[in-house]
Amino acid sequence: MIIILRLNHRIFRDKRITSHVALTARAFLADKIYYSGEKDSNLENSINKVSKQFGGNFNVEYCVSPIEFVKHKKSENYKIIHLTVYGLNLNECIKEIRKFKKILIIVGGEKVPIEYYDLADLNLSITNQPHSEVSSLAIFLHEFFKGKELSYELKNPKIKILPQRRGKKIIKLDHNS
Kindly list the residues in this chain that would bind a second copy in the complex (CB under 8 A): 13-14, 16-17, 20-21, 23-24, 26-28, 50, 54, 85-92, 114, 117-118, 120, 122-123, 125-132, 134-135, 137-139, 142-143, 147, 149-152, 154, 160-169
Nearer to a second copy among residue 64 and residue 114 (C-beta): 114
Nearer to a second copy among residue 64 and residue 92 (C-beta): 92
Shortest distance (Å) from residue 150 CB to a second copy: 5
DSSP track, 21-74? HHHHHHHTT-SEEEEEES--HHHHHHHHHHHHHH-S--EEEE-S-HHHHHHHHH
Largest CA distance in the chain: 54
Shortest distance (Å) from residue 61 CB to a second copy: 19
Query: How far is the C-alpha of 130 from the C-alpha of 154, rounded, in Å?
Result: 32
Nearer to a second copy among residue 36 and residue 143 (C-beta): 143
Single out the residue of 21, 75, 81 nearest to residue 47, CA to CA: 21
Shortest distance (Å) from residue 88 CB to a second copy: 5
Amino acid identity of 87? Answer: G
